[in-house]
Structure 1
Amino acid sequence: MKIKKVLCAPGFTGFYMDDKEAIKEGAKSDGFIYRGEPRTPGFDTIRQTGEAVSVMFILENNDIVYGDCAVAQYAASGGREVPMRSKDIIRVLEEKVVPLFEGKDITSFRQAAEEFDRMKIDGEQLPASIRYGVTQAILETVAKARHLTMAEVIAEEYGLTLELKPVRINAQSGDERYTNVDKMILKQVGMMPHGLINNVEEKLGKDGEIFLNWVKWVVNRILDIGPEGYRPVLRFDVYGCMGKAFNNDLDRVTEYLLQVEKACKPFEVFVEMPVDMKSNEGQLQAFKYMRKKLDAAGSALKLIIDEYANTYEEIKVWVDEKAADMVQVKTIDLGGINNIVEAVLYCKAHGVLAYQGGTCNETDKSAVVCVNLALATQPFAMAGKPGMGVDEGVMIVNNEQERLLTILRAKKAGKL
C-alpha cells in the first residue's frame, strides 16, 4: 500500500509528565501540581502536561491510518529519553520522517518497521517516541491493505498461532488509592492496584508502615466486596522507595518484602522496582541478591524490573541473567513496536514473565495498537492505559480486546 501524504497533528496524552527525582526527594503536592524546582533535565516544572503527536498516513486508496508519538510519565528517568513537546516532535517528523514515507510502498510490517526503527540519521536513531508512533501507523497500513486486524498481521509475520484467549488487564490507581481500588474490584481486573508509591514520607512510610497498612486494606477490600472466587494478581510499583527508606540495605529490603508477601495472602504478589541503584549493573546485581534471599526464605513473591530494562537489548540482558521474575516491557520506551513483539516473545521463550506495560502518559490509539500486539503474543498481562482514572484505560483496552476476540472467533468459525 502506497502512502500519498503524511500529516502531523498535536494532541494530549492521557496523563502528565512528572519529574520522578523531585517527587522522590520530597516535592510537596499542592492540589494536582507539585511545588518546587525540577531536578531532572528537560523539565520546566515538576508536573507538566503530557503532549502527543498523531502521525497520519493518507493511503493511495484514501484510507487514513495513524499512530501516536509520546513519552513516558517519568521521562528522563533510569535511562529514558528527556521530555519532548509536541512542537519538537512535529519538527523532527516534518524534517526527517515525512520525506521518507511520502510515496513509500509498504507491504510488510516487520520489514518496514525494523528498517525504520534501526535507521540512523546523522549517526543516531530517531527518538523512541517518534519510532513508537510511526511504527503504529505502519502496522495499521499493512492491516488495511490485507483487510486483517493488526493482531492477525503480527501473528502472520512472526509465525504465531492466535490463541483467542484474553490477556489479563493491569489497572493502576494513581494517587486515588482507595476509590480506584474499588473501581478495579467492581470491574474485576486481573492485575492490580499499582499504587504509585513514589514518595517515602507520604506513601511508603519511613519504616514502611504506611504502605504495609494500605496493602492490608487492599487485600481485605477485595475479600470484602469482590465476588466469590475473584483472585486478582497483586502488583505494586514502589519506584525504589523501599531502598530509599532502608538506605539501600538489601537485607532490610528483603525482610520488608517478606512482610508485604505475608500481608498479601492469599493472593499472588509482584513488587516492581523495590530499589533503584542508579545504574544498570548495580540494579542487576541488587535484584539477583534479593531474588536469592527471597528464594532462601521460601518466598513466592516476584520481582519486576522496569527502569534499566528500557530497550530490547537491555531486556535481553535481564532475561539472560534471570535477575527478575518479570520484565515490564515498557512499550513506549522501546521505540518501534516491533521491539515490543520481540521482547515479549524473548521473555516467554526463556522462562521469564512478560508484562506488556507502558505508561499512563500514552493515548487511546497507542493503547488500542498495544492490545493487538498482546493478543498475538500473549504476555502474562497488559496495561490498562492511558490515564490514572482506571475506568477510561480499562475500558479502552478491555473493549478492544473483546472486539478482536469476537471478530477472530467468528472468522475461525467460518462466520466471516
Structure 2
Amino acid sequence: MKTRLTFNIKLIRSIITQYRQSHNRPQNDRSIIDEALNLFAPKQAPKNTSNYKPSILSSVAYGPVSEQYQTKITREPQDVDAFKVRTDFSTGRLVNFLDVVSLPRDMLDLNNKILKSTDSEFRQIIGEIRDQEQLVYIFKFLYLQDKLNLSKLTTIVLNKNLRNLSLLPFDLKHPEDSMLNWPALDYTKLRVTLLRKFQTMHKPLHIVKNLEQSFDHDYLPSMRSKELPQFYERTIWKYYFEYVSHMNKHKDESYFIHELNDLYHSFTIWESSKLKSLPISTEILKVHKSMNRLQQLFFKICSQESVNRLINSQLQKNKYSDLLNVLKKISINYKFYSFGELEDTSIETRATYYMVIDSLEKLLVHKIVPFAKGEDVSELVSELNEIKKIITKFEASDDIHENNWDDKLVLLSSFLK
C-alpha cells in the first residue's frame, strides 16, 4: 500500500513537471493539478444492456420502441461537471496531502503524538517548536484530519515563530471558506485572535482593516448580546481604542459607556484601557449610580489623582504599570461587574467580598498611601472601613485591623478554593 501511494505521488509530480515543460506554464498555475487529477478520473463505464426482446404489450402501452428509447435518453441526467466540481474542491487538500505524506519519519511520529494529546499537552508541544515549516505542517495535518478546532488553531497561529500566514492552507481572514464547519461564533473569535497576531507581526494596517471590516456588523453585536467571553471583548476594545477610535473621535470610551449603558461592558472597557483610567472611572461613576458601595469605592480609587500620577509615572518609565495591573487583576479575577448588594448573606458572595476588601486594603496601605506623601486618601480608607463593617456586622468601635477580621478572611476565602 505504501509503495503504491509513493508511486502515485511521484506519478502526479512527474506529470505536472512534464506538462509545465511542454506548455511553458507558470509554476504556480493550480489548474495544472486539476488537469493532472483528471487523468485519474474514472472512465464512464459502458452500459450493460440486455438483449432486446420485442413485446406486443409494451408497444401497445408505451408506443414504438424508438420512442421509448428516445424518451429514456432525453430523461437521463446530464451530470457533466460533477467530477470537475469535486476535483476543484479537493485540489487544495491534495496539495496539502502531498506535503504531509512526504514528511520525514520523525514528523509523522510527532503527528501521531499530537492526535493523542490533550489541550494542555498540545500547547506545550507547539510552544517548544521554533521552526515555521514544522508549524505549517502540523496545521495542515490537523486540517486534513478534520481535527483543527479553534483552540488548536489559536495555539499554532499565536506561536511567534509562525511569521508567514500565507503558508497556511486557507486564508485566515476569510475562515468561513475553509469548510471547517465551526459554530459561527468561533469564526468571530478567530478574527479577534488575529488582532493579537497582527500586533506581534507589527502590522498595524492589518489591525485597522480587521476592525473596519468586522467591528460594526460582527464584533459590536456579539459584545452587545454578551455572546463573546470577556477576554475577547477586552481584546476588541483594546485595539479599537488604540487604532481606530481616534479616527472616529465621537466614538470613544465615554460614547460606548453611554451607548451600551451596561456595567458589564463598562468594566470591560475600563479593564482594556491603559492611558485613560481616570476619565473612564469618572465617567462610570456618573453613569452607573446604582453600583454598590464596594464597586463605587473601586472606581473612586481609580479616579484618585495620586493613583493616576503613579500609573502615568510607571508607564513612562517601563511602558508598564504595576499598580494598574494590580487594579485590573482585582477587577477581572473577582468579576467586579457581577456584585450585588453588600448585605448578601450567601457564603460564596461574602467570601468574595472578604477577598476583595483584603486586596484593596493591601493596595491602599502598601502602594497608594506611601506614594501619596501626605495627600488626603483618608476618605478612601474610611470608606473601606465602613464597607468592612457592613459585611462583617462589626460594631462601630471595632478597628479595621482586628484579629477576628483575619480569622474571618481565612475561613471564608477557603470557600473560593
Structure (1/2) with the larger helix percentage: 2
- TM norm. shorter chain > 0.5: no
Larger Rg: 2
Structure (1/2) with the larger strand percentage: 1
Q: Normalising to structure 1: TM-score of the pair? A: 0.26
